[in-house]
C-alpha cells in the first residue's frame, strides 16, 4: 500500500539562478509507486512564494498529474525575524521561465490545506518538508492537534555534526525561518532529520545534466535551462566541477526507503537567539557530558549515514532515466 504524503517545498526550477533541486525530489515522488501525493504546498525559501507556487504548478502539469498545489504567504513565522530575512521575499531580478500564476481567491492557503488534509487522514499521513518550516508552524496554529494526526515528518533540514551551508552554523532551510523550526521541533510530531551530513554524500553531475540536455523534449530543455545557471553560480567551490548535492531528493527517498540510511535518536533543538549561530540545529545524542547527565528524551531520528549507491540507483532509475527516455 502506498504512503499518503504532502510535500512542502520551495521549488525554484523555472526561476533561473534559484536552487532547482526540490523539483528533482518532486519528480522522484511523482515517479514512485510507494507514494500517494495528496498535495504540494509551497513556502518561501529558495524563491519568493509566487515563483515557487508557479514552478510547482508547472511541474505537476508537465507530469500530467492531478495533484493540488497550495501556496503559503510571504514572510517568516516571526515578524521580527522577517525584517532580517526580508530579501527572501524579494529577488525581483531573477529571470522567470515558467509563467507566474496566482491562486484563485477561493483557494485555501498551504497551512489550511495541511491542517485540513491531516485531520481528514488522521494517523494515515506523513509530510516531507524540503524547504523552511513556515507552513507547518502556521498549520500547528490552525490545528493544535496536528501532532496527533501526522504519523511523521521527514525533513531535509539542519546539520548534525558538521558546519552549516548558509552560515558556518546553519543549514539554509532552518536558517531561513528558525522560529518555525523551533515550533515544529517542540510540537510532539515525530520527525526524521535528513541533515547536510548525509546530503553531502549525494551528487548530481554536470555530465548528468548534459545528458538530460541532449534530449530535445521540452521538459528536458526546461530542466537543462533551469539547472545550468545554478551549477554555475553555486558558491560551494568543492562542487562546482562535480555538480550539485541532491539534498531534497535524498530526504524524499528516505521517506519511503528508510533502509537506505542509518539513523540515530537525538533531542534536536534550534538556536534562535545567537548573534552568529541563528538557525543552528543542535543535536544531542546523549553523548555529551550534559547529555549523559540529563538524558533528554529524543524527539527525532537523525540520518547519519547512507547507502550512496542505493540512492544513486533509485535516482537514476526514477528521475534521470525517466527524463532521458522521454
Which residues make up the interface to ligand RIB (CB under 6 A)?
Answer: 19, 21-22, 46, 130-131, 156, 165, 171-173, 247-248
**Residue 83 beta carbon to Ca ion: minimum distance, rounded to whole angstroms:** 23
Closer of 46 and 226 to ligand RIB (Cβ): 46
**Residue 212 beta carbon to ligand RIB: minimum distance, rounded to whole angstroms:** 18
Applying CB under 5 A, among 5, 7, 15, 22 the residue interacting with Ca ion is 22
Place of cell 498551504: 110
Burial class (CB in 10 A: 0-12, 13-18, 19+), 192: buried
- In which order are the strands placed within the sheet that holds 261-270? 69-71, 35-42, 3-9, 125-129, 150-156, 191-194, 300-306, 261-270, 281-284
Closer of 131 and 195 to Ca ion (Cβ): 131
Applying CB under 5 A, among 14, 131, 158, 195 the residue interacting with Ca ion is 131
The binding track of 247-266 with respect to Ca ion, each residue x by CB under 5 A or -, is: -x------------------
**Residue 22 beta carbon to ligand RIB: minimum distance, rounded to whole angstroms:** 5
Place of cell 551549477: 231
Place of cell 533543538: 269
Count of residues touching Ca ion (by CB under 5 A): 5
Do residues 143 and 119 make contact, with C-beta atoms less than 8 angstroms apart?
yes
Do residues 135 and 127 make contact, with C-beta atoms less than 8 angstroms apart?
no
Applying CB under 5 A, among 28, 60, 130, 250 the residue interacting with Ca ion is 130
171 near Ca ion (CB under 5 A):
no
CA angle 88, 79, 70 (to 5 degrees): 60
**Residue 156 beta carbon to ligand RIB: minimum distance, rounded to whole angstroms:** 5
The DSSP element (H or E) to which 223 belongs, if any, is: helix 218-233
Buried b / exposed e along 290-320 (16+ C-beta atoms within 10 A): eeeeeeeebbbbbbbebeeeebbebbeebbb
Partner whose binding site includes residue 171, from Ca ion, ligand RIB, none (CB under 5 to 8 Å by kind): ligand RIB
**Residue 24 beta carbon to Ca ion: minimum distance, rounded to whole angstroms:** 10
Closer of 211 and 234 to ligand RIB (Cβ): 234
Contact residues toward Ca ion (CB under 5 A) are 10, 22, 130-131, 248
Amino acid at each position: 500500500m502506498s504512503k499518503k504524503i504532502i510535500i512542502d517545498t520551495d521549488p525554484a526550477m523555472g526561476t533561473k539562478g534559484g536552487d532547482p533541486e526540490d523539483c528533482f525530489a518532486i519528480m522522484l515522488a511523482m515517479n514512485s509507486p510507494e507514494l500517494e501525493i495528496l498535495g504540494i504546498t509551497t513556502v518561501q525559501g529558495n524563491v519568493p512564494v509566487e515563483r515557487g507556487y508557479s514552478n510547482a504548478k508547472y511541474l505537476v502539469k508537465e507530469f500530467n498529474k492531478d495533484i493540488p498545489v497550495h501556496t503559503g504567504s510571504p514572510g517568516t513565522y516571526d515578524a521580527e525575524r522577517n525584517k532580517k530575512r526580508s530579501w527572501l521575499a524579494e529577488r525581483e531580478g531573477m529571470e522567470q521561465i515558467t509563467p507566474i500564476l496566482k491562486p484563485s481567491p477561493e483557494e485555501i492557503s498551504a497551512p489550511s490545506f495541511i491542517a485540513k488534509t491531516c485531520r481528514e487522514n488522521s494517523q494515515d499521513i506523513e509530510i516531507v518538508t524540503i524547504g523552511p518550516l513556515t507552513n507547518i508552524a502556521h498549520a500547528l496554529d490552525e490545528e493544535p492537534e496536528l501532532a496527533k494526526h501526522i504519523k511523521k515528518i521527514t525533513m531535509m533540514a539542519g546539520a548534525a555534526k558538521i558546519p552549516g551551508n548558509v552560515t558556518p552554523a546553519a543549514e539554509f532551510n532552518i536558517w531561513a525561518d528558525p522560529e518555525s523550526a523551533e515550533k515544529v521541533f517542540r510540537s510532539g510530531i515525530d520527525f526524521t532529520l535528513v541533515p547536510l551530513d548525509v546530503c553531502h554524500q549525494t551528487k548530481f553531475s554536470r555530465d548528468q545534466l548534459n545528458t538530460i540536455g541532449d534530449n530535445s523534449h521540452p521538459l528536458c530543455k526546461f530542466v537543462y535551462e533551469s539547472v545550468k545557471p545554478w551549477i554555475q553560480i553555486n558558491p560551494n567551490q568543492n562542487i562546482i566541477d562535480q555538480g550539485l548535492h541532491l539534498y531534497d531528493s535524498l530526504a524524499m527517498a528516505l521517506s519511503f526507503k528508510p533502509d537506505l540510511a542509518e539513523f540515530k535518536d537525538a533531542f534536536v533543538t534550534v538556536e534562535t537567539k545567537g548573534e552568529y549561530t541563528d538557525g543552528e540545529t543542535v543535536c544531542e545524542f546523549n553523548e555529551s557530558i550534559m547529555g549523559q547527565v540529563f538524558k533528554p528524551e529524543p524527539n527525532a531520528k537523525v540520518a547519519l549515514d547512507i547507502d550512496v549507491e542505493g540512492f544513486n540507483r533509485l535516482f537514476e532509475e526514477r528521475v534521470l532515466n525517466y527524463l532521458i527516455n522521454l
